[in-house]
């Protein structure tokens, strides 16, 4: 490790930036987040630096700095032309002042890492100058894991330290308190909620309670009910997960997941988390919804953090309503983390707009079957020009869906798209017409999971015309 990471106190620190163009502005963007006094040495400033000068965020010296000028500074950034940078480097070496030179690692005796700023929580990522782009990519990954509120959580915790020290006499008790408090950080709890919960616990605590709670925590006993996150896994690989979903998976004690959840999503789950498979396959004996609810409540009642992981979005044909009701009745706290639903992702993959201004202005999500077979819709209300129908789980019932739509006047020429295994490596997309829906599914041996998109076009004039059109489409 050539570069040893150190956090430098910028309070009452003078920093010099030599240069007035974009490279200098990039350095200033970071330094402005600190309390340091910043002076820019340059004959002229670009618009961004000039704006900072006008707003009294920097001091501006128009001449090239001398050794005497630079002796007053604790840090120096050289961001000018090569000749000037070389001169500044020689001065900094004589002064033994920490120096960073833009795009010249051999002249630097310190480098600025990629920084995830959640002050007072900060994360620095460095590559010793070997791969700065890779460092930025790693930064992006970490940004996804840390909520924008985590800095406020740290500030709230700091404000509680005196009270925690007063309530808990031993180091072990205090450590257990903080461990318990911060378990909620990565599950979407806000700083205000965490602070208020901690304050309530501390204010309601006496010495005997604190000792008993500490002993329970040390022995692994749980003193409260757990928390459940209903998480949308999206329709495929993990790069379609939301940041919040990824955080929930990495902090879960238990993950209860479906059959269609992609393997790359499961790999995000922390290794020591318990996994419970509750997948449902068409035509096979499967775990009932009552059993799934029982699993959720059983794990949450142990005081664990539970993720109920569903393919797509939990609120769209994911039976989240039944799970929510069960948790409300049991007094279990929960949250919903939405995911990218299959229709949106599949349409995007196939480059198909779900709405078109002045053309397709209504979007209707339907499930192709109910517990008793075909869902009993009022099909006539769908057979209107400008409507896009999105059918989930519609492959088996496609012939009946086709017949119902045609019977109420939908044109056989209405455009359809069928996306099988959307967003996966074996994804297939077929485009045809409503009049050929059944034939396309049979001919191409399409199976679930698949999304069927039907763009309703003008209505047929009569049943005879409909039958004739279907025969022509089928030929």
DSSP assignment of 261-298: S-HHHHTTS-TTSEEEE----TTS----HHHHHHHHHH
Return the SS3 of 364: strand
Residue 75's DSSP bridge partners are 15
- 32 counts as catalytic: no
- 313 counts as catalytic: no
Which of 184, 253, 258, 262 is an active site residue?
258
Return the SS3 of 60: strand
Contacts of 376 (CB under 8 A, 6+ apart): 370
| Cα 454–Cα 456–Cα 459 angle in degrees, nearest 5 | 145
What is the helix, strand, coil percentage profile of the chain, to 5? 40, 20, 40
Question: Could you check whether the bond before residue 120 is cis, i.e. omega within 30 degrees of 0?
Answer: yes
Residues written for the chain: 475
299 and 254 Cβ atoms separated by less than 8 Å: yes
276 and 257 Cβ atoms separated by less than 8 Å: yes
Q: Rounded to 10 degrees, what is the CA torsion of 383, 388, 391, 392?
A: -150
Residue 307's DSSP bridge partners are 229, 255
- Is residue 318 exposed (0-12), middle (13-18) or buried (19+ Cβ within 10 Å)? buried
Backbone angles phi, psi at 179, to 5 degrees: -60, -45
Which of 183, 280, 396, 413 is an active site residue?
280
Q: How far apart are CA 61 and CA 176, in angstroms?
A: 53
Please list the alpha-helical segments (H only) found in 146-188: 150-167, 171-182
Annotated active-site positions, please?
Answer: 258, 280
């Amino acid at each position: 490790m050539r570069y040893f990471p150190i956090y430098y106190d910028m309070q009452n620190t003078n920093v010099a930036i030599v240069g007035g163009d974009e490279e200098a502005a990039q350095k200033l963007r970071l330094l402005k987040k600190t309390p340091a006094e910043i002076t820019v040495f340059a004959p002229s400033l670009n618009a961004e630096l000039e704006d900072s000068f006008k707003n009294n965020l920097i001091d501006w010296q128009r001449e090239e700095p001398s050794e005497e000028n630079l002796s007053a500074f604790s840090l120096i950034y050289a961001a000018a032309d090569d000749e000037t940078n070389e001169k500044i480097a020689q001065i900094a070496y004589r002064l033994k002042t920490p120096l960073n030179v833009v795009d010249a690692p051999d002249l630097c005796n310190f480098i600025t890492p990629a920084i995830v700023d959640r002050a007072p929580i900060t994360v620095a990522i460095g590559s010793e100058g070997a791969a700065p782009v890779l460092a930025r990519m790693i930064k992006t990954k970490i940004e996804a894991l840390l909520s924008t509120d985590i800095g406020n959580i740290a500030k709230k915790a700091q404000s509680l330290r005196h009270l925690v020290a007063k309530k808990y006499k031993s180091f072990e008790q205090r450590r257990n308190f903080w461990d318990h408090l911060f378990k909620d950080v990565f599950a979407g709890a806000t700083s205000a909620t965490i602070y208020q919960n901690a304050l309530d616990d501390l204010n309601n605590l006496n010495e005997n309670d604190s000792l008993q709670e500490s002993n329970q925590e040390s022995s692994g006993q749980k003193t409260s009910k757990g928390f459940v996150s209903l998480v949308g896994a999206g329709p495929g690989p993990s790069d379609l997960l939301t940041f919040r979903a990824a955080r929930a998976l990495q902090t879960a004690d238990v993950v209860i997941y479906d059959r269609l959840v992609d393997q790359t999503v499961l790999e995000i789950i922390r290794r020591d988390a318990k996994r419970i498979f509750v997948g449902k396959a068409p035509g096979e004996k499967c775990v009932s919804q009552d059993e799934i609810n029982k699993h959720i409540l059983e794990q949450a009642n142990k005081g664990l953090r539970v993720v109920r992981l569903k393919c797509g979005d939990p609120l769209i044909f994911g039976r989240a309503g039944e799970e929510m009701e069960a948790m409300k009745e049991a007094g279990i706290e929960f949250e919903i983390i939405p995911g990218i639903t299959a229709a949106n992702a599949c349409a995007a993959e196939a480059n198909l707009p779900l709405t078109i201004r002045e053309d397709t202005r209504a979007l209707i999500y339907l499930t192709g079957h109910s517990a008793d077979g075909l869902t009993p819709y009022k099909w006539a209300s769908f057979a209107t020009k400008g409507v896009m129908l999105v059918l989930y789980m519609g492959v088996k019932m496609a012939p009946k869906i086709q017949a119902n739509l045609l019977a109420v006047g939908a044109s056989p020429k209405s455009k359809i798209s069928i996306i099988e295994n959307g967003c996966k490596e074996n994804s297939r997309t077929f485009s045809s017409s409503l009049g050929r829906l059944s034939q396309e599914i049979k001919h191409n041996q399409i199976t679930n999971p698949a999304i069927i998109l039907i763009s309703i076009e003008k209505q047929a004039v009569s049943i005879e015309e409909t039958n004739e059109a279907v025969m022509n489409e089928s030929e």
